[in-house]
Amino acid sequence: MSEIGLVEIFSMAEAAALIATLFVIVYYSKKQAQSLSVDKVLSKVDAESPEMAYAYDILFTFAHAFHMRQRKVLNDNEWTGINVN
């Protein structure tokens, strides 16, 4: 019968910790995805066509950028699209 050394014990503990971390990540990501599917409602208006849904998405994106500009999250260069490096 072979003896288990200290290195092997640490290897097994590391593998167990990685597996436990994976389970925790999966659990919380599933929980967050469920809450997003319940909470994330952009509009209660039913889209009549895919084109209308796409247009709404584009307008929502532009409105979000505009509100970021109003809150001074975007500076002048970011707003105008000038890339200064």
> Do residue 34 and residue 46 come from a single domain?
no
> Do residue 35 and residue 22 come from a single domain?
yes
Tell me the one-letter amino acid at 82: I
Three-state SS annotation for 10-47: HHHHHHHHHHHHHHHHHHHHHHHHHHHHHHCCCCCCCC
> Do residue 32 and residue 62 come from a single domain?
no
How far is 25 from 67, CA to CA, in rounded Å?
Answer: 33
What's the pLDDT band for 78 if we cut at 50, 70, 90? confident
Give the residue numbers spanning the domain of 9.
1-40
What's the pLDDT band for 84 if we cut at 50, 70, 90? low
How long is the chain? 85
Coil, helix or strand at residue 83:
coil
C-beta of residue 56 within 8 angstroms of C-beta of residue 43: yes
What's the pLDDT band for 21 if we cut at 50, 70, 90? very high
Query: What is the total count of domains within the chain?
Result: 2
> Residue 39 pLDDT more than 60?
no
